[in-house]
Amino acid sequence: MPITLANVDSSVTTHTPTWRVALDHDFTDTIHAYTSYNRGFKSGGYNVTAPSLAPYSPEKLDAYEVGLKTQFFDRSVTLNTAGFYYDYGNIQVSRFINGSPQVYNGGAAELYGLDIDLTTRITERFSVTGGLELLHTAFTNFAKADFFNSCAKPYPTVCSLSATGNQLPQAPNASVTVNVDYRIPLSLGELNLDVNSASSSGYFYAPNNEDRQGPYTVVNGSARWTHEQYLLSVWAPPPWAMPRRERSALRSESSSDMQTVLTNAHPGGNSP
């Protein structure tokens, strides 16, 4: 049976300069300030699952950032803060058509926010780190986004509607991380106990903002014993603390919520 190949452009050429401009200043040996402006570029391409479609265009990003890196209390506390603004042009977004992944351009978008990272060394063996990120995201011009639930005809109909003003996908308004680490010297080796959590305010899966992952917190714990070239690790991500998608992934990876491995570590105690 003869096969007819789609007639598409064989190549696309783009010339786009990129750059970075940055200024920084040390007010003291523990206070460092900086500001930067970056032009980013992400190449366009073809959808191999739909070769008859026109190629999607390159994505451009103008990123502005200003921040402080500081240390206090004899450098036992490190506090880094940054404010940023991202301006996207021809932002590339993903979609699925008849089960096939595709990329198309979503016009213009903006993202701005605040990022805070804190590290505290309470003792030589006990430390706590934390992070907070606050985001505002929006498509500023996206006239023809893929919609499903908002179409005149019910799903699985796909229609093109405006997503201008909608939030960007996979971009929670607030994220918080906390990590607690404690090292215990033993007569034979060392025991390292670690607990970390990651919380999210939730996010939308697609530019149409029709389906949303609600707020969640993921908590993980681990215990690691090291001695010379040996390493024994035990870790437990409790499935009840994970959103549904992460729980499903965990069940597919292991039938147990706790796994133990005995491996030969690299010299110096680093895991492979």
Quote the pLDDT of residue 152: 87
With 0-12 / 13-18 / 19 or more C-beta atoms within 10 angstroms meaning exposed / middle / buried, residue 46 is middle
pLDDT band at 168 (very low <50, low <70, confident <90, very high): very high
Instruction: Note whether residue 151 is domain-resident.
Output: yes
How many domains, in total, are found in the chain? 1
- pLDDT tens, position by position, 71-102: 999 999 999 999 999 999 999 998 887 778 89
| Average pLDDT value for residue range 227-235 | 90
Does residue 245 carry a pLDDT above 60? no
CATH number at residue 109: 2.40.170.20
Which residues constitute the domain of residue 191?
Answer: 19-214
Over pLDDT 70: what percentage of the chain?
83
Cα distances (angstroms) measured from residue 215 to each of 126, 133, 176, 188: 30, 15, 11, 43
Instruction: Note whether residue 240 is domain-resident.
Output: no
Instruction: Note whether residue 26 is domain-resident.
Output: yes
Whole-angstrom Cα distance, residue 92 to residue 60? 9
Instruction: Note whether residue 93 is domain-resident.
Output: yes
Q: What is the 3-state secondary structure (H, E, C) of the chain?
A: CCCCCCCCCCCCCCCCCCEEEEEEEEEECCEEEEEEEEEEEECCECCCCCCCCCCECCEEEEEEEEEEEEEECCCCEEEEEEEEEEEEECCEEEEEECCEEEEEECCEEEEEEEEEEEEEECCCCEEEEEEEEEEEEEEEECCCEEECCCCCCCCCCCEEECCCCCCCCCCCCEEEEEEEEEEEECCCCEEEEEEEEEEECCEECCCCCCCEECCEEEEEEEEEEEECCEEEEEEECCHHHCCHHHHHHHHHHCCCCCEEEEEECCCCCCCC
Instruction: Note whether residue 31 is domain-resident.
Output: yes
Q: Where is average pLDDT lowest: 47-61, 111-125, 136-150, 229-243?
A: 229-243
pLDDT band at 9 (very low <50, low <70, confident <90, very high): low
Instruction: Note whether residue 75 is domain-resident.
Output: yes
pLDDT band at 143 (very low <50, low <70, confident <90, very high): very high
Tokens of 232: 């024994």
- pLDDT tens, position by position, 191-228: 999 999 999 999 999 999 999 999 999 999 999 999 99
Closest of 37, 11, 5 to residue 24, by C-alpha? 37
| Average pLDDT value for residue range 140-152 | 92
Quote the pLDDT of residue 10: 63
Instruction: Note whether residue 197 is domain-resident.
Output: yes
Quote the pLDDT of residue 239: 47
Instruction: Note whether residue 98 is domain-resident.
Output: yes
Quote the pLDDT of residue 212: 96
- pLDDT tens, position by position, 255-266: 333 333 333 333
